[in-house]
Amino acid sequence: MDFNEDRLLAARLKSGDEMAYDTLMNQYYVLLCNYAFTFTKNRDNAEDIVQNVMVDLWTKRKKIKPELCLKNYLYKSVYNGFISQYRKQKPVIYLEKKHIDAVDAIMESNQEEMQRLIKLVNHEIERLPKKCREIFLLNKKDGLTHTEISEHLDISTKTVEGHITRAFKILKNRLEERIGPVLFLLLGNPLK
């Protein structure tokens, strides 16, 4: 969905268009659940967070600003929902602070820069060796665990771990240092 479609959808939501809400759910629900799962590591908790975000968006739709980028808003809301849930359970730790800083840095970027960085990351993921890319995407995009991937592909979990580690090393070497926060946000895993 491009920026203009996103703005049109935001305007339709603001006016109470239920079809726009259905479109939004169809477009983002699964993606947001997978994104939330990278934080929660629990499908039920991930779905709860996304459902709360979507309900909150609908109930507050009249306050939507015309320039709102729905995609950014939804991802940041899911992340904030996770942080809220997480803080109720655990104290802030170093990794959480690092992730918060990465999200803040990305969300402060302008829309065009954000889209450019995401395209660059996706392009480099597509350039990964075939098996490495397949395993990496099963883990990072589809949210499968190492064990689930090993059973699905009939390979060892060590092989899965090796491919994921290799993918991160390749991406780190190919991408500029400032892309690190985008990878951290998109993939839910810090580059070491």
Predicted local confidence at residue 89, as pLDDT: 64
Segments making up each domain of the chain, as ranges: 3-89, 111-187
* pLDDT cut 90: percent of the chain above it: 20
Residue 144, pLDDT above cutoff 90:
no
Cβ–Cβ < 8 Å for 32, 74: yes
* Residue 128 pLDDT: 92
Q: Taking residues 71-98, what's their average pLDDT?
A: 74
Integer Cα distance of 111 and 105 in angstroms: 13
Please tell me the predicted confidence (pLDDT) of residue 156. Answer: 92
CB 85 within 8 A of CB 45: yes
129, pLDDT greater than 80: yes
Kindly list the distances between the CA atom of residue 34 and the CA atoms of 129, 174, 192, in Å, as whole numbers in the listed order. Answer: 23, 25, 23
Encode pLDDT of 34-54 as tens digits: 989 888 888 998 999 999 999
The whole-number pLDDT of residue 3 equals 60
**Model confidence band, residue 168 (pLDDT cutoffs 50, 70, 90):** confident
Q: Which of 63, 52, 84 shows the shortest CA–CA distance to 15?
A: 63
- 118/153 Cα distance (integer angstroms): 28
> If you classify domain 111-187 with CATH, what class do you get?
mainly alpha
* Chain segment 58-81, per-residue pLDDT in tens: 998 888 887 778 888 888 899 888
User: Does pTM top 0.85 for this prediction?
Assistant: no
3-state class percentages of the chain: helix first, strand second, coil last, to nearest 5: 80, 0, 20
Position with higher pLDDT, 85 vs 129: 129
Q: Are 149 and 164 in contact (CB under 8 A)?
A: no
What pLDDT does 29 receive? 92
Tokens of 119: 């395209």
- The pLDDT score that the predictor gives to residue 192 is 39
Residue with tokens 């959480």: 96
| Structure confidence at residue 181 (pLDDT) | 58
The DSSP letter of residue 178 is: G
Measured distance CA(176)–CA(40) in Å, rounded: 28
- Provide CATH code, domain 3-89: 1.10.1740.10
State the Cα–Cα distance between residues 24 and 57, nearest whole angstrom: 11
Do 180 and 102 touch, CB atoms closer than 8 A? yes
Mean pLDDT for the chain? 80
